[in-house]
Amino acid sequence: MFVFDPYSREVDIDPYPLYKTLRDDYPCYWSESGDCWVLTRYEDIYNAGRNWEVFSSAKGNMLDDIPERAGSTLGTTDPPRHDRLRSLVQYAFAKRGLEYMVEPIKAITNQVIEQFIDNGELEFVNDFSSPVTVGVLSMLIGMPMEDQEVLRKNIVSILSTDPETRQKTAESMASFEWLKNYTGELLEKHKLERPDDLLTRLLEAEIDGDKLLDREIQMTSLTLIMAGVESASSFMTMLALNLSDHPDSRARVMADHSLFANAIEESLRYNTTAQRFRRTLTRDFELHGQKMNAGDKVILCYGSGGRDERKHENADKYDIDRPNAREHTGMGGGKHMCLGSPLAKLMVETAMAELYRRLPNLERNAETLDWIASTTFRSPTAVRYSF
């Protein structure tokens, strides 16, 4: 009998054959072990993402979310609260634009490269994608650079689930507390010193006299750190992996950097790190002949939407010339569409272009990949390269 268990190692390692069976035979599937419905077709995910009145985020947007996040962050609120938060955060982001970040991203990338350039090899996650993204986010939000390692360690711990017990571990909860205290202290420091960064802009953001409350700024910074560091770092690792596995595409991207934008969209379609996000039904809802009840959890498999043959021809083929590659679900959709998308794309493109420029002979070593245990993300734990 076919079983889809979002907590299984099988799903962490390779969800794509399972998604195909789900899309073809069980488009609205009840997962007993996940205690949730599973939607895998592009059109259903697209529609559910836009129908926030029924598919609510207010009880959490991860299957095994930490209860305290429900109702308190951008990703875990519904309109009108969500729209108010999003406008204020967007305002803080837009105030200075992103162009000013290109040179600092290059500088951080080169500092990181200097650490391993004499070794002839690198482990991509720990040596490159993670320090670069933590470095960029640290600069953006105003976190001290020396905190990078401890930050990344705690974020991975928060996002992981014990595959045996299917619970957040005591370690995950302790890491969440740690990050909450960390952002609280950072906020207090910013109130006094007011450095020129995003956190200060969040403190100052004001629309029609409305400002963010301290707790909202704290939870927003926490979300930006978690969403930004883990998603962007893992996505950079995925893009490098996709390009290594498709040397023709890689050669074209290296020869013409304007093709990076296509490669990024295609990797978000083909292999997004943000695989499955959760909603909770506010009322009974019927889909593909299945009756779902108010209060049921539903997971939207963003990673499956991009591989839906109903939407994309030869969906399992990595093709940087795909004309409709941008129509993917790799960064979500509707009201909760990734807010950090322009920053993530800029960071990944700038850092990877710099890496290929410095190390044109980068080759992936044939080594088994492993993946973090997560109901939400598909992130490699380590990938080795030589050069």
Binding site for ligand HEM (CB under 6 A): 57, 61, 74-75, 86, 223-224, 227-228, 231-232, 235, 272-274, 277, 302, 330-332, 336, 338-340, 343-344
Residue whose CB is less far from ligand HEM, 322 or 378: 378
Residues 37 and 291 sit within 8 Å (Cβ to Cβ): no
Q: In 10 A of CB 196, how many CB atoms? A: 8
| Distance of closest approach, residue 121 Cβ to ligand HEM, in angstroms | 25
Residue 157 beta carbon to ligand HEM: minimum distance, rounded to whole angstroms: 19
Provide the 8-state DSSP code for 311: T
What spatial distance separates the first Cα and last Cα of the chain, rounded to whole Å?
Answer: 46
Q: Are 64 and 167 in contact (CB under 8 A)?
A: yes
Assess contact for 199 and 219: CB atoms under 8 A: no
Q: Identify the sign of the CA torsion 192, 99, 126, 61.
A: positive
Closer residue to ligand HEM (CB): 241 or 274: 274
Q: In the complex, what is the shortest distance from the CB of residue 159 to ligand HEM, in angstroms, rounded to a whole number?
A: 13
Q: 333 - beta bridge partners?
A: none
Nearer to ligand HEM, 227 or 325 (CB): 227
Beta carbon of residue 317, minimum distance to ligand HEM (angstroms, whole number): 21
Q: How far is the CB of 161 from ligand HEM (least distance, A)?
A: 17
Question: Cβ closer to ligand HEM: 50 or 387?
Answer: 50
- Least distance to ligand HEM, CB of residue 83, Å: 9
With 0-12 / 13-18 / 19 or more C-beta atoms within 10 angstroms meaning exposed / middle / buried, residue 120 is: exposed
Nearest residue (CB) to ligand HEM, 98 versus 387: 98
Q: Which is nearer to ligand HEM, 371 or 387 (CB)?
A: 371
Q: d(Cα 326, Cα 352) in Å, to the nearest integer?
A: 20
Give the pairing type, strands 36-39 and 297-301. Answer: parallel
Q: Letter for the amino acid at 45?
A: I
